[in-house]
Structure 1
Amino acid sequence: MAGPDLPIMCTLPPNAMVERLTRFEALFGASLTGLEREPLLLRLAFEAGAEREARLRELFAAEQRCCAFLTFGYERTEAGLRVSIAAPAGAGATLDGFQALAERTAPPQAVARSWTG
């Protein structure tokens, strides 16, 4: 888990951010099946076989390296992979960004499920 002394900032160079967001958009659009949000926790569910799971884990690991203040967890489910992203106090806006990107690019049925519980 991230320590309290870690600065709440992304170290990804600005010119690499567009590429990273494009990768997230592609995976969210192709395989996101649901999301749940608490103030400092975002859970994302993905339909994922072995190859897609490897790509998801690789992408989130890259995000962990540039946003060390976030804590990522992974749970293999019957349908795929569940990724949880926890933020420390004061970093909820980072999760807002992930949530907005997911809701904008995910299939409508995945977003509807998250809105209706």
Structure 2
Amino acid sequence: MAESEVPIVCTLSPNKMVDRLTEFESLFAESLTGVEREPLQLRLMFDTDPAREAQLREVFEAEQQCCAFLGFAFERTGAGLRVEVTAPQDAAPTLDGMQALAERNAPPEVVAAGWTG
């Protein structure tokens, strides 16, 4: 299905959506080190060990299952894991929400020091 044909809709039930948001909040609070944004792309940087990386990948891969209109790419860097989230034009507000959730739950010492991104 072409990107323009993919419905911009999340298929999670309201209860499952709350659970997913809680998972993201926890991961952001524990290991988020940077956020970079372009209009249709959000890059999230995490300080990770192998167990945390597996958990991050699992949550983002689960998110792709319910939000098929989003694209996710993972890159291992010297500093940890970079997750790139891309969205079609009509779904840019979804990236706004994820960015706000990330920044709101980032470790205070990381925010105070400035993003490493």
Alignment of 1:25-104 (within 5 A): 25-104=25-104
TM-score by length of 1: 0.92
- 1:34–1:44 contact (8 Å) kept in structure 2: yes
Count of residues paired in the alignment: 116
TM-score by length of 2: 0.92
- 1:30–1:106 contact (8 Å) kept in structure 2: yes
Find the aligned partners of 2:104 and 2:2 in 1 and give their Cα distance.
28
> How many Å apart are 1:111 and its aligned residue?
3.7
Moved over 4 A (4+): none
Gap regions ≥5 residues in structure 2: none
> How many Å apart are 1:109 and its aligned residue?
4.4
Partner AA of 2:20 in structure 1: R
Partner AA of 2:76 in structure 1: R
Cα deviation 1:22-42 (Å, max 9, x = unaligned): 010000000000000111100
Gap regions ≥5 residues in structure 1: none
Partner AA of 1:52 in structure 2: R
Superposition CA RMSD, Å: 1.9
Find the aligned partners of 1:95 and 1:89 in 2 and give their Cα distance.
10
Give the share of equivalent positions with the same residue, in percent: 65
Partner SS, residue 68 of structure 1: coil
- 1:35–1:111 contact (8 Å) kept in structure 2: no
